[in-house]
Structure 1
Amino acid sequence: MTASDSRRYDVVIVGGGHNALVAAAYLARAGRRVVVIERSDAVGGAAVSERPWAGVDARLSRYSYLVSLLPQRIIDDLGLRIELRRRRYSSYTPDPTDPTRGVLVDTRDAEATAASFARTLGDTHEAARFAAFGERLAPVARAVFPTMAEPLPTSDELRERVGDDELWDALTTRPLGDLLRSSLDSDLVRGVALTDGLIGTFASSDDPSLTQNRCFLYHVIGGGTGDWDVPVGGMGAVTAELERAAREAGAEIVTGVEVVSVSPDGDVHTMTDRSEVFRGDLVLSGVGRAVLDRLLTAGGSSTTGAEAPEGAQVKVNMLLSRLPRLRDESVTPEAAFSGTFHVNETMTQLDAAHVAASGGLIPEPLPVEVYCHSLTDPSILGEELRASGAQTLTMFGLQVPHRLIDDTDPVAAGARLLAAAQASLDSVLAEPLRDCILRAPDGRLCIEARTTRDLEESLAMIGGDIFHGALSWPWLSAPADSPAARWGVSTPHARILLCGASAQRGGAVSGIGGQNAAMAALEILGG
């Protein structure tokens, strides 16, 4: 191998997702020589905007679509010019037994919210119980979220900060279902809360693994409030700002180059038209643990021992000529679709869907939640589409593990999931969804399903797992003795750190994994 075939850096980052860009920006700003290597032709990973339909001027957040966990500290540190817009309506949930009525949570009108609860449930107190549940969780968000961009605290430290031992134990030691049953009376409202524990995970409310509890915690702590905001310009606007920050800081970004192996001594082998080696004092892995293990194996070294991940969602993107009419005439489509629209997501339905999927069946009805980005941020649509009244719509199907689509005909399996999602939403509409879907110039309907198989093939997410593996509690049981362990980014190899969703505080569009890895790397490198 000649000298030209090898490049030397302080840090080599494998994978160009949003966390990798965050890490690169921090490291370059600290004066470190850093390179990001991405196999695709563009960076961003799952945090990108694309035009799925030829000739249609709509840039959709094709995979990730909302932002909650991105700390203001990262935005300020990196000088990111991004706008996150708050949604007025938190959620709308029609009663599956009678879709002519539903619960609308209006963050600006508590009386209207209470009236909606009473009209739908026949219970004048459930709205107050729901509000009290949120208020009880608020100290957890305020205690945990500020620590996400700091060295990991211990569980005892966080328990003391929360100041509610009973709640802490309910969240961290017992299945989430217990807490929901003791806090809320309605099966419908319990389901609204439970969905925060099931996005991208496969579990029941009483799963003893507490997978649902960890997912729930990450959903309710974002920003210290639990709010999920709309990125103006779409998710691609967030990635574009991160790429700008990294490049302007001096990071090198290489796209269209595939990493084929990684060694514990810092050698990252790539292959395009010829083999090349990028050598780093440290290697940061922005890919999932399972992918990193494959690269380590190819490099002839021991792996991290990651378990095979399995995603559990289907995302449906579509463009409509107009929003469909609801069977519930007391709520406008604009209000219902601007927040999270829960369909067939009572607690009983969610648990039944888990049982069905565990048996190899697509749940019927399929629990789905729906949201319209363009109501809050119309900038993702071209002028003509905006003028015509067109709207985007995103459906996210729950309790559909990768095993349901990992068969000999993934295209057919994806079509079945799409049909199930449409049928579920149709059950609460006053007209078929299909009648509102726009057609592209080539005659195709502007609707697509992105399954776990699609994520595996297009983004190299093994098993289509959006979290790159099971989420971890964002704390330690005891103080750590190394920078990598303190920041939750360690691997069995001292010179390889995690910087993506596989990091201890990874998951969602947050940049936390990247920031944590950069802080650990600077400690190790001495700067």
Structure 2
Amino acid sequence: MQLRETSEPSDDRPDVVILGGGHNALTAAAYLAKAGLGVVLLERLEHVGGAAVSARAFDGVDARLSRYSYLVSLLPRAIINDLGLGIRLARRRYSSYTPVPGDSEGRGLLVDRRDAEVTRASFAEIDAAADSDAYAALGDDLARVAEVVWPSVTGPLPTRSEARAALGDDALWDAVFERPIGELIEQRFASDLVRGVVATDALIGTFAGLHDASLDQNRCFVYHVIGGGTGDWDVPIGGMGAVTGELERVAREAGADIRTGAEVVSVSPDGEVRYRRGGTEHVVGAARILSGVAPHVLDRLLGAADATPAVGADRPEGAQVKVNMLLKRLPRLKDASVAPEAAFGGTFHINETASQLEAARAAAAEGRIPNPLPAEIYCHTLADPSILGRPLAESGAHTLTVFGLHVPDRIVRDLDDPAAHDEVRTQLQDAVLASLNSVLGEPIEPLLMVDAHGRPCIETKTTRDIEDALGMPGGNIFHGPLSWPFAEDDEPLDTPARRWGVATTHERILLCGSGARRGGAVSGLGGHNAAMAVLEELGI
């Protein structure tokens, strides 16, 4: 699309008010301001970026960690080019490393994108040689899915029938979109470990089983394997803060009025937004409101004005624990034949066989912390040491960010006593470290650096912490259940908002965050698609 230069927004009644300042909201603000619309964006915190931020998490330590979200896969090149974003992404050579739990020799599966023979030999090393060809074949099949689905995410929603016809393979379509993904995984792979490597793409951030009839796990799987048309998850150079920093720059330069420290208290369907800033309540009205907050939060804001809910969204539940660490060096592995730089160069899976994943979910459903706790690790600094100050980087230090699966919000939800929450947070941190230590050649704790106060450089974020910090209900990183990247055949697509998957029950209010159709992860898709719906309606 052609984007023209901006005009200054009206302080009294802009064309659009955007709720929230996450990366999707900034994307929408940038597009609309570049198209000449008056845009006011309201963010509760004193900074924008939402979950896609970098932070100096440890006092006196020159390290800027991507605190909540870590990798980028679903941000289309079209958005980067449209907005002129100076964003650089580093492709990781290794897809994953997965130690065999309890193996006395410390064997593990290393998937090397650049060397098929190394990967094949690694499958054989863990007694899964028969799964090697099946793994490559699944990759080819998923590449065909990505070739069909990925180009559609920046356009109006296709229908289910249109997407199915475009794939042209009914058996593959049924396996991915109609039947629980666990069936495909079990039909194609014999190894419990290989099954788990594939299954994590369906479960990370989603509290589901591989055979759930809801197919929540399938939707999560689809979004994990279509990004960029390849399914690659890349490291943002400079950290996540560099991504949202660019979006903020472009939005401001285009004329968007970004107001931080502005807490929205109510929204009305006629376009009135009330917010508090600097101890004073303000009112701003607009022809359109774009909501970058979770749909459940939007419904609550509408309820404050006694209005009909926009989405009718139930309170979502997140299902993860996040642990950020700074190490003096990478830890040794039990298997000396694999270099730590290779093992940590991709996604390091810990206790994530298929049976362990299912057992962990069963334990968590009963309110217990899984033991062992399945988790996976990303090492940002192997691909991008720029997030460390030069002396720190030259010392051999590395960051590790851990994403623990199947830790639902119910474990901490009712802990009103801060001390009780602190205790459970400590238990979760201990469970993550114990799980990690079970597959390493040395304990991780002595490798932790210390901050200016002599405290270990480790922080743990529960779902409660994420909700308190970012306003994500239940700590759900997707703002709620993920949706298919297509419309059902009988779904009305009679308005721009509906065609772009951003509609609510109120004509003036559109979703522009992760809760929009095709939302979730750091993608900008919710913001892009909401902006496209507005511009289509206005004929711009």
TM-score (norm 2): 0.95
1:180-259 to structure 2, matched below 5 A, reads 180-259=185-264
- 1:447 matches 2:458: yes
1:50-199 to structure 2, matched below 5 A, reads 50-98=55-103, 100-121=106-127, 123-199=128-204
- 1:383 matches 2:390: yes
Q: 2:447 aligns with which of 428, 436, 439?
A: 436
Structure 1 counterpart of 2:323, one-letter code: V
Q: 1:11 aligns with which of 6, 9, 16?
A: 16
The residue that corresponds to 2:340 in the other structure is 333
Shift of 1:7: 2.4
The residue that corresponds to 1:515 in the other structure is 528
Structure 2 counterpart of 1:517, one-letter code: A
Aligned equivalents of 2:11, 2:32: Cα separation in 1: 21
Between stretches 99-108 and 456-465, larger displacement belongs to 99-108
Shift of 1:503: 0.1
Aligned equivalents of 1:7, 1:351: Cα separation in 2: 54
**1:482-503 deviations in Å (ceiling 9; x for gaps):** 1100000000000000000000
Partner of 1:448, secondary structure, is: strand
Aligned equivalents of 1:420, 1:97: Cα separation in 2: 16
Shift of 1:6: 7.7
The residue that corresponds to 1:474 in the other structure is 485
Aligned equivalents of 1:414, 1:525: Cα separation in 2: 49
Contact 2:290 / 2:530 at 8 angstroms: preserved in 1?
A: yes
**1:398-422 deviations in Å (ceiling 9; x for gaps):** 0110001123221111111111000
Shift of 1:207: 1.0
The residue that corresponds to 2:349 in the other structure is 342
Partner of 1:13, secondary structure, is: strand
The residue that corresponds to 2:512 in the other structure is 499
- 1:287 matches 2:293: yes
Structure 2 counterpart of 1:465, one-letter code: N
Shift of 1:124: 2.6
Shift of 1:119: 0.7
Structure 1: where are the runs of 5+ without partners?
Answer: none
Aligned equivalents of 2:524, 2:48: Cα separation in 1: 14
CA RMSD of aligned residues (A): 1.1
**1:73-118 deviations in Å (ceiling 9; x for gaps):** 0000000011011000100000003061000001111101111110
Partner of 1:130, secondary structure, is: helix
Contact 2:157 / 2:487 at 8 angstroms: preserved in 1?
A: yes
**1:168-191 deviations in Å (ceiling 9; x for gaps):** 111112111001011111110110
Structure 2 counterpart of 1:366, one-letter code: L
Structure 2 counterpart of 1:471, one-letter code: L
1:311-326 to structure 2, matched below 5 A, reads 311-326=318-333
Q: 2:283 aligns with which of 277, 295, 307?
A: 277
Q: 2:401 aligns with which of 367, 391, 394?
A: 394
Structure 1 counterpart of 2:380, one-letter code: H
**1:458-507 deviations in Å (ceiling 9; x for gaps):** 00000000000000001011361111000000000000000000001100
Between stretches 5-14 and 286-295, larger displacement belongs to 5-14
Aligned equivalents of 1:285, 1:97: Cα separation in 2: 47
The residue that corresponds to 1:406 in the other structure is 413
The residue that corresponds to 1:357 in the other structure is 364
Contact 1:91 / 1:104 at 8 angstroms: preserved in 2?
A: yes
Aligned equivalents of 1:332, 1:436: Cα separation in 2: 17
Between stretches 355-364 and 477-486, larger displacement belongs to 477-486
Contact 1:60 / 1:380 at 8 angstroms: preserved in 2?
A: yes
The residue that corresponds to 2:499 in the other structure is 486
Partner of 1:125, secondary structure, is: helix
Shift of 1:22: 0.4
Aligned equivalents of 2:453, 2:41: Cα separation in 1: 38
Which segments of structure 1 move beyond 4 Å, counting only runs of 4 or more? none
Partner of 1:338, secondary structure, is: coil
Aligned equivalents of 1:204, 1:300: Cα separation in 2: 38
Shift of 1:524: 2.3
**1:318-354 deviations in Å (ceiling 9; x for gaps):** 0000011111111111110110000100000000101
Aligned equivalents of 1:506, 1:7: Cα separation in 2: 31
Contact 1:402 / 1:453 at 8 angstroms: preserved in 2?
A: yes
Contact 1:220 / 1:227 at 8 angstroms: preserved in 2?
A: yes
Contact 1:95 / 1:101 at 8 angstroms: preserved in 2?
A: yes
Between stretches 312-321 and 297-306, larger displacement belongs to 297-306
The residue that corresponds to 1:296 in the other structure is 302
Partner of 1:8, secondary structure, is: coil
Aligned length: 522
Partner of 1:216, secondary structure, is: helix
Structure 1 counterpart of 2:455, one-letter code: R
- 1:420 matches 2:425: no
Aligned equivalents of 1:124, 1:261: Cα separation in 2: 59
Aligned equivalents of 1:220, 1:171: Cα separation in 2: 11
Contact 2:102 / 2:439 at 8 angstroms: preserved in 1?
A: no
The residue that corresponds to 1:463 in the other structure is 474
Contact 1:204 / 1:354 at 8 angstroms: preserved in 2?
A: yes
Partner of 1:400, secondary structure, is: strand
Aligned equivalents of 1:173, 1:139: Cα separation in 2: 17
Between stretches 48-57 and 267-276, larger displacement belongs to 267-276
Aligned equivalents of 2:511, 2:328: Cα separation in 1: 43
Aligned equivalents of 2:294, 2:243: Cα separation in 1: 21
Aligned equivalents of 1:416, 1:88: Cα separation in 2: 34
Shift of 1:31: 0.5
Contact 1:6 / 1:277 at 8 angstroms: preserved in 2?
A: no
Shift of 1:11: 0.3
